[in-house]
Amino acid sequence: MFELDQLNPNVRGLKTSATLRINEDSNRLIQQGRDIIKLGLGQSPFPVPRVVVEALQVSAHEKDYLPVRGLGELRQIVAEYYQKRDHQPRTQDSILVGPGSKELLFNLQMACNGDLLIPAPSWVSYAPQAELLGRKVIHIETRPENNWQIDPEQLDRLCQDEPNKTKVLILNYPSNPTGCSYDSDGFSALAAVAKKNNLIIVADEIYAETAFEANHLSMAEYYPEGTVISSGLSKWCGAGGWRLGVMVFPDELRALQDAMAVIASETFTSISAPTQYAACTAFSPSPALDAYLRGTRSVLSAIASYMTQTLRSYQLNMVDPVGGFYLFVGFDQWREKLKNQGINSDAELCAHLLSETGIAILPGSDFGMTPEQLYTRMAFVDFDGGRALSVAGDESLPDNFIEEYCPKLVKACQGLDQWLKAL
Q: Are residues 79 and 211 in the same domain?
A: yes
Q: Which of 228, 257, 235 is nearest to 169 (CA)?
A: 228
DSSP state of 232: E
Give the Å distances, CA to CA, from 256 to 10, 94, 118, 283.
24, 11, 20, 24
Q: Are residues 270 and 322 in the same domain?
A: no
Q: Are residues 138 and 268 in the same domain?
A: yes
User: Across the strands, what pairs with 379?
Assistant: 326
The domain boundary residue, chosen from 284, 304, 336 = 284
- Note the helical H segments in 133-183: 152-159
pLDDT over 70, % of the chain? 99
Domain assignment of residue 114, given as a range: 51-284
- Note the helical H segments in 324-421: 335-340, 346-357, 385-389, 401-405, 407-421
pTM here is 0.94
Those residues whose C-beta lies under 8 Å from the C-beta of residue 118, and which sit 6 or more positions away, are 126, 127, 137, 138, 139, 140, 169, 170, 368
Q: Are residues 163 and 223 in the same domain?
A: yes
Quick: pLDDT tens for 42-98: 899 999 999 999 999 999 999 999 999 999 999 999 999 999 999 999 999 999 999
The answer, yes or no, to whether residue 18 has pLDDT greater than 70, is no
The domain boundary residue, chosen from 222, 257, 284 = 284
CA torsion through residues 211, 217, 223, 229, sign? positive
| 211 touches 322 (CB < 8 A) | yes
Q: Are residues 276 and 296 in the same domain?
A: no
| 233 touches 244 (CB < 8 A) | yes
Whichever domain contains 375, its CATH number is 3.90.1150.10
Instruction: Give the pLDDT confidence score for residue 22 in this predicted structure.
Output: 76
DSSP H or E stretch at residue 20: helix 18-31
* 3 state SS of 168: strand
Instruction: Give the pLDDT confidence score for residue 27 in this predicted structure.
Output: 84
Instruction: Give the pLDDT confidence score for residue 328 in this predicted structure.
Output: 98
Quick: pLDDT tens for 324-373: 999 999 999 999 999 999 999 999 999 999 999 999 999 999 999 999 99
Quick: pLDDT tens for 234-287: 999 999 999 999 999 999 999 999 999 999 999 999 999 999 999 999 999 999
Whichever domain contains 262, its CATH number is 3.40.640.10
Instruction: Give the pLDDT confidence score for residue 17 in this predicted structure.
Output: 64
Q: Are residues 178 and 126 in the same domain?
A: yes
Q: Are strands 115-120 and 137-141 parallel, antiparallel or unpaired?
A: parallel
Question: Average pLDDT in the 33-48 region?
Answer: 92
* 3 state SS of 370: coil
The answer, yes or no, to whether residue 408 has pLDDT greater than 80, is yes
Q: Are residues 415 and 269 in the same domain?
A: no
The answer, yes or no, to whether residue 122 has pLDDT greater than 90, is yes
Amino acid residing at 102: K
Q: Are residues 112 and 209 in the same domain?
A: yes
Q: Tell me whether residue 160 is exposed, middle or buried, using C-beta atoms within 10 angstroms of its C-beta: 0 to 12, 13 to 18, 19 or more.
A: exposed
Q: Are residues 366 and 219 in the same domain?
A: no
The number of distinct structural domains making up the chain is 2
Amino acid residing at 290: D
Task: Dump the DSSP string for 305-336.
Answer: HHHHHHHHTTT-B-PPP-SSSEEEEE-GGGHH
The overall average pLDDT reported for the chain is: 94
Cα dihedral 152/131/375/44 (nearest 10): 90
Q: Are residues 233 and 323 in the same domain?
A: no
Quick: pLDDT tens for 374-390: 999 999 999 999 999 99
Give the Å distances, CA to CA, from 80 to 88, 91, 206, 304.
10, 7, 18, 32
Instruction: Give the pLDDT confidence score for residue 15 in this predicted structure.
Output: 77
Q: Are residues 280 and 301 in the same domain?
A: no
Quick: pLDDT tens for 187-197: 999 999 999 99
The domain boundary residue, chosen from 284, 318, 350 = 284
Q: Are residues 151 and 245 in the same domain?
A: yes
